[in-house]
Amino acid sequence: MLFYDPTYILVLIGFFLAMFASNGVQRAFNRYSAVHSYRHYTGKDAARKILDDNGLYNVAIEHISGNLNDHFDPRTNVIRLSDATYNSDSVAAIGVAAHEAGHAVQHAVGYVPIKVRNAIVPAVNLCSTLSMPLFIIGILLGLANLANLGIILFSAALVFQLVTLPVEFNASHRALVILNSSCMLDEQELRGAKKVLSAAAMTYVAAAFASALQLLRLAIINNSRRRD
């Protein structure tokens, strides 16, 4: 039952949800990458303006290779923008860059959810590494307590995903408010940026849902084994 059982349907549902969300953000980004902003801000320009307007002169912006791998690194105080974002003046690029600047602002103002997320990363990484080996050993050897421990440790991944949701939604909200108030994007362009960021947010929702389904699957397997 551990290697083939009906509960695999839960894994497949989570996989297809994640794939659907990923395709959605790629489609939205591609669509609005073809829409150039009237004021010709680039992703780098937008991020720099947001940082400077919030007094974050010490946060650097770097160009990295890739596509949609943009991120803010709080350890080095650096926003890294990908090829598709850094020098592009598209609505999609500006939205993504502003979102990453939103994370930098969160970090600077001490936004509680991002502080919690950053604090639990080491513990979550450890729990994620140990959870499945402990669960599998517990199931194979009939050690219910060990299997339960594996499930508990796996739940840390779900907690991390849930904490991530307000962080991502808030960063997008900050980005859109600033893009509007600073007039970097007009009303129509702002709607395009919102669609890109909303699609990106759905990838985090899908990831949380997939983790919840996997956690449910582990619990079902464990309960079935105990009944056997």
Residues 68, 50 contacting (CB under 8 angstroms): no
Three-state DSSP state, 59: coil
Please give the Cα distance from 112 to 117 (Å, whole number): 9
Please give the Cα distance from 79 to 64 (Å, whole number): 10
Catalytic pick from 100, 168, 187, 189?
Answer: 100
Residues 61, 48 contacting (CB under 8 angstroms): yes
Residues 32, 192 contacting (CB under 8 angstroms): yes
Location of structure tokens 């650096």: 78
Tokens standing for 205?
């929702």
Tokens standing for 60?
């650097």
Neighbouring C-beta atoms of residue 151, cutoff 10 Å: 17
Three-state DSSP state, 79: strand
| Annotation marks residue 100 as catalytic | yes
Residues involved in catalysis: 100
